[in-house]
Structure 1
Amino acid sequence: MTTDLRARTAVELLRARRRSIALTDAVDDGDLVRQHSPLMSPLVWDLAHIGNQEELWLVRDVGGRDPVRVDIDRFYDAFKHPRADRPSLPLLGPREARSYVGTVRDKVLDILDTVPLEGRRLVEQGFAFGMIVQHEQQHCETMLATHQLRAGEAVLTAPSPPSAQAGVYGEVLVPGGPFTMGTSTERWALDNERPAHTVDVPAFFIETAPVTNARFAEFIDDGGYLDRRWWSEPGWRHRVEAGLEGPMHWHGDGTRTHFGHRAPVEPDAPVVHVGYHEADAFARWSRKRLPTEAEWEKAARFDPVSGRSRRYPWGDADPGEAHANLGQRHLRPAPVGAYPDGASPLGVHQLIGDVWEWTATDFAGYPGFVAFPYREYSEVFFGPTYKVLRGGSFGTDASACRGTFRNWDLPIRRQIFSGIRLARDPRPGEVG
């Protein structure tokens, strides 16, 4: 068991590193050190930060080894330096950063071969290594978002996603009653996913697919961005101040720019790069609403036949290529209906992958939440400032995406790969 766990963990560490290298080797040194948007760090900062977190947790803590570069810790502490300020720091250059992360990784693989994976909560079931795998993959998605913001020729390539395999329309009723939300058993689940607890969710309807570009274009064409009726007070204020007229990277002529390519907006693909305020306004215009986080998770995990909560909509098996658009295999959302094998028992499609879906819920800990292994991962973000997103995107790796996985961001953020799914309450007499 331990040997198999070590081998699988090593595979995940190496897979994450291949992706980091691919994303940073795709551009020249000038692009690596440049800040492509004040919303994002220079790519070279992300790369060295990945190595620094790995050194702090796995080399120094788990391995008990001497520091590799204790002198750079303060420059790669995400809480000490806002992204806009990071280019002014004395950062490692591209060659130094690559050498540093390589040295750290060599030590980590040696530690993985020898350290006991028991006796401390931090190492039980390889948790610390899994935490670092997920951290690196999360930064890979962040670097992918930076690539989307960079100007210049396209440097990333990937095959097109599959075409629609099934017609997916309308909405389904999710029956009312209790279900198990969160997890206490998932080996590498992070602190904000824990513990498992029972939530009683009243009956609701949820749409079987994410909102498509074609539907969102109807909102724009109907003057949705100009009509104060559909916007919350902070949403309208932000729309006016930011001059929002459509999703990020749309040009207003039926085209959008995606990783350096300008092409027609695909009508049957999920809309992407919309903030919470836009999602909320679209929902109001549609006479519906965004789902709560508990509703989203019940739709994604609840099996009405067995009454249990699955790991994923399709069951307990890890995601395969037929289940979901994950891991940067494709560089855009797949059309609605492309993954019928990934549907939930109730017939809800593409809950995992393609686009992160905004929920109506503020980010907070579950009942019995305990910060582990550090408060700065989740707890410092709890409160009404951040909204929860669920489900992952085409840029999210499977190691950092589960039916219980929780993401969060500011309502104004649009550079992330975020989209919309709608829900509504039953009408009088509609549910027996």
Structure 2
Amino acid sequence: MTAETAHPWAVQGDDALRAHVAEELSRTRQRSAQLTDAVDDEDLERQHSPLMSPLVWDLAHIGSQEELWLVRDVGGREAVRPDIDDLYDAFQHPRSDRPQLPLLGPTEAREYVGTVRTKVFDLLDGVPLQGRRLVDNAFAFGMIVQHEQQHDETMLATHQLRRGEPALHAEPPPPADDRALPAEIVVPAGPFTMGTSTEPWALDNERPAHDVRVEAFALDTTPVTNGQFQRFIDAGGYRQQQWWSPDGWAFVQRAELEAPRFWFRDGDRWMRRRFGHVEPVPANEPVMHVSYHEAAAFSAWAGKRLPTEREWEKAARFDPSSGRSRRYPWGDDDPGPDHANLGQRHLRPAPAGAYPHGEAPCGARQLIGDVWEWTSSDFRPYPGFTAFPYREYSEVFFGPDHQVLRGGSFGTDRAACRGTFRNWDYPIRRQIFTGFRCARSLSRDEIG
């Protein structure tokens, strides 16, 4: 088997790990506060779409999961609010029903998550970080950081759905590299190590590392842009059944789709609504808010296809010079601002071709950040998968109903994004920050 890179934490001491956990918990809570403090209490309690929870539900749910896993399980402390466990169990109450529940109000929710966090910081000073799998390498703390960051991205998507004046603000992303890039790159055939057995905070569906072979293929250098997708629209792509799967065509007809979500016509040009701003659709940004069905239809129209999950990960991680799988396209270092558009820094994707320092060895750009990328793969377990620490994180979603997304978006935090990270959703989803890039199989002449 080819090898994956060991995580830098392997050489960290216990004190450094506790300091890292404390920093990640604090940094993450600052983001949660930014998302919830940006609007008034009435807005926090409003449901902006039946697809999403009220923001105040997400906030208290963050605290509830932190209490269950860290305060009660890891810390063995007395329960703070056992009376609300059922209210904030995501599997008991669908999002559309949550506004009718007797939820904590904004003030009470903030007090609750603050009380829980105080207890967590208290136990962090002395709890063993080894001895059982849940605490080895501070896994439970990392799981909670990632859980909160995932809900922060969900809350960011809720902000995109809300109406009214802009509540969030950020600087624009960096421009595209001014060097001309090839339209596609070629990834040679061969094996690589997919998944991970060494990433301390990797979740169960990323494990274990296993060797897979991928045939040679071509991949778009950058994600498909708005300008490219508009040509599909102008060519009648949404009206021509030939490009769509049966399920995709039924979805187009049922939902009466004619463009990505949040686009609308203003005379002869396309406009979009983005976090309260109305603006012309920028041609050079990766297209966003498209379903799997739209991504697959565009790919067929372009004479290509969506990459498989294996293809995507090999392009993002495999280093042919060493034969190893990197943690990220650029190497093993955690993402920095020069590598990728992550963490809600910019509130929009960067232009296609940005972030040259984040380029993969194969030459592909922006595989991490900007937009989640649809793949053609169903969400399935890896060989040797073991559910941990609970079945409901991954196992109950395995099967043909969910498509895998890779790479993260501008709203994904670095703690919840790496070369092995797997996201999944229904193929009709459009409110999330999704885009795609195309792939194609190579002919015998191209392979040589």
Coarse TM-score class (shorter-chain normalised): over 0.9
Equivalent residues in 2 for 1:119-134 (5 A)? 119-134=131-146
2:228 to 190, 198, 215: 215
* C-alpha distance after superposition, 1:370-404 (max 9, x if no partner): 00000000000000000000000000000000000
Structure 2 counterpart SS, 1:225: helix
Q: How far apart are residue 428 of structure 1 and its match?
A: 3.0
Which residue in the other structure is 2:262 paired with? 249
Which residue in the other structure is 1:183 paired with? 196
Which residue in the other structure is 1:170 paired with? 183
Partner Cα distance (1:167, 1:144) in 2: 33
- Structure 2 residue 94 is the aligned partner of structure 1 residue 82: yes
* C-alpha distance after superposition, 1:168-209 (max 9, x if no partner): 331111010110000000010000000000001111111110
1:268 to 284, 294, 305: 284
The letter of the residue matching 1:131 is M
Structure 2 counterpart SS, 1:349: coil
Q: How many percent identity over aligned positions?
A: 70
Structure 1 counterpart SS, 2:444: coil
Q: How far apart are residue 305 of structure 1 and its match?
A: 1.3
- Structure 2 residue 38 is the aligned partner of structure 1 residue 38: no
- Structure 2 residue 332 is the aligned partner of structure 1 residue 316: yes
Which residue in the other structure is 2:385 paired with? 369
Q: Are the counterparts in 2 of residues 172 and 205 from structure 1 also a CA contact under 8 Å? A: yes
The letter of the residue matching 1:348 is A
Q: Are the counterparts in 2 of residues 389 and 409 from structure 1 also a CA contact under 8 Å? A: yes
- Structure 2 residue 71 is the aligned partner of structure 1 residue 55: no
Q: How far apart are residue 88 of structure 1 and its match?
A: 0.4
Structure 1 residues 302-311 or 56-65, which shifts more?
Answer: 302-311
Partner Cα distance (1:409, 1:13) in 2: 26
* C-alpha distance after superposition, 1:403-425 (max 9, x if no partner): 00000000000000000110000
Partner Cα distance (2:406, 2:54) in 1: 26
Partner Cα distance (1:203, 1:163) in 2: 31
Partner Cα distance (1:169, 1:66) in 2: 59
Aligned-residue CA RMSD in angstroms? 0.6
- Structure 2 residue 110 is the aligned partner of structure 1 residue 98: yes
The letter of the residue matching 1:193 is E
Structure 2: give runs of 5+ residues left out of the alignment: 1-12
The letter of the residue matching 2:212 is V
Partner Cα distance (2:150, 2:108) in 1: 22
The letter of the residue matching 1:305 is S
Structure 1 residues 85-94 or 252-261, which shifts more?
Answer: 252-261
Q: How far apart are residue 347 of structure 1 and its match?
A: 0.5
2:205 to 192, 215, 220: 192
Q: How far apart are residue 263 of structure 1 and its match?
A: 0.4
1:331 to 334, 338, 347: 347
Which residue in the other structure is 1:288 paired with? 304
TM-score normalised according to structure 1 size? 0.99
Partner Cα distance (2:92, 2:47) in 1: 18
The letter of the residue matching 1:256 is R
Structure 1: give runs of 5+ residues left out of the alignment: none
* C-alpha distance after superposition, 1:117-164 (max 9, x if no partner): 010100000000000000000000000000000001101000000011
Equivalent residues in 2 for 1:397-412 (5 A)? 397-412=413-428
Partner Cα distance (1:169, 1:31) in 2: 46
Which residue in the other structure is 1:384 paired with? 400
Which residue in the other structure is 1:110 paired with? 122
Partner Cα distance (2:70, 2:442) in 1: 50
Q: Are the counterparts in 2 of residues 255 and 263 from structure 1 also a CA contact under 8 Å? A: yes
- Structure 2 residue 351 is the aligned partner of structure 1 residue 359: no
The letter of the residue matching 2:355 is Y
* C-alpha distance after superposition, 1:301-325 (max 9, x if no partner): 0111111100000000110000000
The letter of the residue matching 1:212 is T
Partner Cα distance (1:20, 1:346) in 2: 36
Which residue in the other structure is 1:11 paired with? 23
**Structure 1 stretches (4+) deviating beyond 4 angstroms?**
none
Which residue in the other structure is 2:173 paired with? 161
The letter of the residue matching 1:391 is G
Partner Cα distance (2:237, 2:135) in 1: 51
Q: How far apart are residue 335 of structure 1 and its match?
A: 0.2
Partner Cα distance (1:250, 1:229) in 2: 23
Structure 1 residues 248-257 or 339-348, which shifts more?
Answer: 248-257
The number of residues matched between the two structures is 432
Partner Cα distance (1:306, 1:205) in 2: 21
Q: How far apart are residue 167 of structure 1 and its match?
A: 3.0
Partner Cα distance (2:137, 2:219) in 1: 36
1:342 to 343, 358, 361: 358
Partner Cα distance (1:90, 1:105) in 2: 23
Q: Are the counterparts in 2 of residues 173 and 205 from structure 1 also a CA contact under 8 Å? A: yes
Q: How far apart are residue 427 of structure 1 and its match?
A: 1.6
- Structure 2 residue 4 is the aligned partner of structure 1 residue 29: no
Q: Are the counterparts in 2 of residues 168 and 336 from structure 1 also a CA contact under 8 Å? A: no
Partner Cα distance (2:394, 2:181) in 1: 35
Which residue in the other structure is 1:142 paired with? 154
* C-alpha distance after superposition, 1:6-32 (max 9, x if no partner): 000000000110000000000000000
Partner Cα distance (1:250, 1:65) in 2: 50
2:219 to 206, 219, 225: 206
Partner Cα distance (2:182, 2:87) in 1: 49
The letter of the residue matching 1:33 is E
The letter of the residue matching 2:58 is D
